[in-house]
Structure 1
Amino acid sequence: MSSLPKSKLLVVEDDEGLQRQLKWSYEDHEVIIAGDRVAAIEALRTHQPDVVTLDLGLPPDPDGVSEGFATLQDILQIRPTTKVIVASGHGARESARRAIAMGAFDFYHKPVDIDELGLIVRRAFHVSGLEAENRRLADAGNQGNSVLGGMVTAAPEMIKVARMIERVATAQVSVMLLGASGTGKELLARGLHNCSLRKDKAFIAINCAAIPENLLESELFGYEKGAFTGAIKTQPGKIELAEGGTLFLDEVGDIPLPLQVKLLRFLQERVIERIGGRKPIPVDVRIVCATHQNLEDMITTGRFREDLYYRLAEIVVRIPTLAQRAGDAVLLAQYFLGRFARENNREFRGLTPDAVAAIADWHWPGNVRELENRMKRAVIMAEGTRLAASDLDLANASDEAGMSLKAAREAADRVAIRRALARTDNNVSNAAKLLGVSRPTLYDLMRQFGIE
């Protein structure tokens, strides 16, 4: 059985001694060496490395930074997705600021600290892998082959949910989606409909919590002309409009008890009567419902009918929170960045390392909806070419936690390791291959981060 190909690292450095040291330090990667700008561009075109370490002091200007910055500009023009890590001992602070503004992934000071540079390189490969996976999922979505035809995820927890929905989509059963607000329940319901035999018919969604109690019955069942004041014409309800297709009842726990009785009767008999009507109307519709409430507790306290629950919950799907979806926060952030940048005619070179660390470390109480809102606001308001933690209003959270740059990198490394272990069913050898490190290195990192 052949091993996975090594990830490619291009080292642009004119010091031969440092070339050998870096090549030895990164034996887990395929290391390509270039000593000047011409060799670097040739290697970039030939090998297409995901990560580049670039010394700004290149010949013919080894004591300055002009040749290094020209090389950085060429790399990013030829292959914008490349993560370039810039090094310089010349005017380090100003060079760092300029390099990041041009689109470099990160910066480190000379003389080189191999351990510190190793952390930056691992994070660069991690982010590069997330972006590549995001592009793959987006391309698959355009071809109709992604998870549920539009969900962006790489978390084993969420892929398991998606596969479960795909399996039950063609069965004639009612499905209950349970999850916190903002976890994507309607997206999953639409995915279920699109995978079902009813995909060519209507998908009708109604939020039961957003409609006043006295109007919800007419919204669901419709009404006849003259049924009440203001009923100037006959109006079919959402159930009737979903004929042959799928009716999605969001926040079903907010349906009042009297209306629960009428909904139960429809589920048993599959006929409805409009308000003010006497004629039974048969309706063929599939019910998918969702709630963030604990319906079993509501049944105990008499706020939800047990017989209705079992009619609605023939299959129950529990949706994890964003914090429980290993690695998905950064992956979704990259997806939203690309989407909102296109919608607002903005150009961005990605997320800064502190943004990646802050996104991975944040607990996301509002789940995917919170992340989407933060990314949309940041794309509109950001002034730079890369989104930082401050653009997402996450910088203060990291500062309050006392997170240094090294700690932020370690936090992201911890997330990457846990994600790799989850995807390989805790097989350390396979996880090490996914991460592009040796098994002993991964064991050392697991001990360092307290990962069992």
Structure 2
Amino acid sequence: MREKILIADDEESIRWVLGNCLEKAGYTVEYAEDGTQALERIASDNFSLIVLDIRMPDISGLEVMRQIRSAGIDTPVIIITAQNTVKNAIDAMKEGAYDYLLKPFDLDEVKITVQRAVESYRNAKKLEQFRAALKEAIEPSQEIIGKSPAMLKIYKTIGRIAEKDITVLITGESGTGKELIARSIHQNSRRKEERLVAVNITAIPKELLESELFGYEKGAFTGATIRKQGRFEEANRGTLLLDEIGDMPFDLQTKLLRVLEEKRFYRLGSEKPVEVDVRVIASTNKNLEEEVALGRFRKDLYYRLNGITIEIPPLRERKEDIPLLVEYFVDRYGKEFGIGKRVISEEAKEILLEYNWPGNVRELENTIKRVLVLSSDSIITADILLEAAPYLKGKTPGKEDSLDRLISSHLINLINSHEEGPRGEGIYGTIMKMVEKPLIETVLKLTRGNKKKAASLLGINRNTLSKKIEELGIYIAEASD
């Protein structure tokens, strides 16, 4: 059975030239003289491709495309135009066109473009059944995707602890989905009708963190013109997620421990205790046992938080989950971006499976979003994937990868997950703090706490280093000059 194509153009000569070309190429061609007629034909028949003139007397080609997309018709569309402008190209692609062609036509180019569009659509239809089968296993409502033994073990743990008011510590590398696990615990607990309040410790400047957590009274400090509730009060009767707890300043850890033990705290500037009923979930990408050994994290607080530990494996250690994750993200963002159905080829999946994903699930998610936005094809082939995400060519970010690539990969994940700080702090300030603290800690470790040597290595004076150590809450086990 020959593929059927609709050509809609108000110029008879254009319809004849295109139709003659495509009929000789083996296609069945039908015609429409304007946008209204095109919509009628599309509603009453099935086409493998629709070719629309961007300018027609009643309804423009772009408006026809908007209407058929709104009706759920995902047939590929090629826009034809006599005006080679950036705006026309951008408008066509934004509305979901497969491609666009310029008048006067290069008929060889027309045949190649049409063939690619028709084949892409045909392949997508053939693979729909396979794609639907995978969707059943994904369980998109949960948003925690994975059927690997490690993830099944985590699901069982969540089921056992969700309704019990025990403190939970979630560990794992950045981008593994620690917050999703925390939300799943909350949503399956007896506190699910109340709020889950998430606090990212690294996103809040050290000098503001105490007031963010515990609130303050009017007049407690300059600028405190009203009384403000802290995050603990906001989460009362609900759940408080302390994200990146391993970066909490040492002096504030003592106050947190007291709150966990006594279930009450004092707002800044107040002598009246505030009692709260809060379940605390903490998460970190650090090894807290090592932090305790290095004197940077309180041992008693670690034991208090470590009621139950859920360790999320990095994506490279559960690669069997990658196909499920890919299908989930393709389906989710295809709908969210309004770009219709897309399918990842087996060759493209192999590339995704071979890559080691230093940014974990978040990096995979961002890669799929990037590919969907930059490609018009229904089938995401290996070539299309590598064109949109060239960093996948290296497969594993090991010795052969440049430092620039590693840094860029992590920065992309940080930027995509960034939330504005409590006083409008931008991404630059947040990332600089995240880089600055481990840099200074590493240099101090190498110099065995010798500030003079550390300052010299860093290229800053010793007073500046001391100030940074205080601001960033860096603990030096054996500090010396």
TM-score (norm. length: structure 1):
0.60
Secondary structure at the aligned position of 1:368 is classed as helix
User: Cα offset for 1:98?
Assistant: 6.5
Matches within 5 A, 1:160-179: 160-179=153-172
2:273 to 261, 273, 280: 280
Contact 1:105–1:352, Cα closer than 8 Å, also in 2: no
Matched ranges for 1:337-376 at <5 A:
337-376=330-369
- In 2, the alpha carbon distance for the partners of 1:389 and 1:315 equals 42
Which residue number corresponds to residue 382 of structure 2?
Answer: 389
Deviations 1:95-115 (A, max 9, x none): 995664234269xxxxxxxxx
CA distance in 1, matches of 2:115, 2:318: 34
- Once the 2 structures are TM-superposed, how far is the Cα of residue 183 of structure 1 from its aligned partner? 0.5
Matched, 1:331 2:324: yes
**Candidates 116, 119, 123, aligned match of 1:104:** 123
Provide the rounded CA distance (Å) in 1 between the counterparts of 2:393 and 2:235: 50
Structure 2: distance between partners of 1:400 and 1:249? 35
Number of aligned positions between the proteins? 298
Question: Which residue number in structure 2 is paired with residue 205 of structure 1?
Answer: 198
Question: Would the alpha carbon gap of residues 288 and 391 (structure 1) be closer, same or farther in structure 2, given more than 3 Å must change?
Answer: farther
**Separation (CA, whole Å) in 2 of partners of 1:246 and 1:128:** 41
CA contact (8 A) 2:314 2:360 kept: yes
Q: State the distance in 2 between where 1:265 and 1:290 align.
A: 19
CA contact (8 A) 1:103 1:385 kept: no
Q: CA RMSD in A?
A: 3.3
What's the counterpart of residue 220 of structure 2? 227
CA distance in structure 1 between the aligned counterparts of 2:137 and 2:330, rounded to whole angstroms = 15
* Change over 3 Å in CA distance of 1:321–1:245 after alignment to 2: same
Matches within 5 A, 1:55-204: 100-104=119-123, 131-138=132-139, 141=141, 149-204=142-197
* Matches of 2:131 and 2:159, distance apart in 1: 24
Q: Secondary structure at the match of 2:202?
A: coil
| Equivalent position amino acid for 2:341 in 1 | F
Deviation, structure 1 residue 393: 3.8
User: Any conservation in 1 of the 2:186–2:239 contact (CA below 8 Å)?
Assistant: yes
Q: Any conservation in 2 of the 1:323–1:367 contact (CA below 8 Å)? A: yes
State the SS of the aligned residue for 1:204. Answer: strand
Hey, what's the Cα distance between the residues in 1 that align with 2:203 and 2:392?
35
Judging changes above 3 Å, is the alpha-carbon distance between structure 1 residues 193 and 358 closer, same or farther for their aligned structure 2 residues?
A: same
Q: 1:256 aligns with which of 249, 256, 261?
A: 249
Q: Tell me, in whole angstroms, the C-alpha distance in 2 between the residues paired with 1:359 and 1:387.
A: 12
Residue identity opposite 1:102 in structure 2: Y
The alpha-carbon deviation at position 286 of structure 1 amounts to 0.4
**How far apart, CA to CA, are the structure 2 residues paired with 1:365 and 1:324?**
11
SS in 2 for 1:177: strand
In structure 1, runs of 5+ residues without a counterpart are 1-36, 39-63, 81-93, 107-123, 142-148, 402-452
Q: TM-score, normalised by structure 2?
A: 0.56
Instruction: Name the SS for the 1:248 alignment partner.
Output: strand
Superposed displacement of residue 212, structure 1: 0.6
Q: Distance in 2 between matches of 1:179 and 1:200?
A: 27
Aligned residue number for residue 208 of structure 2: 215
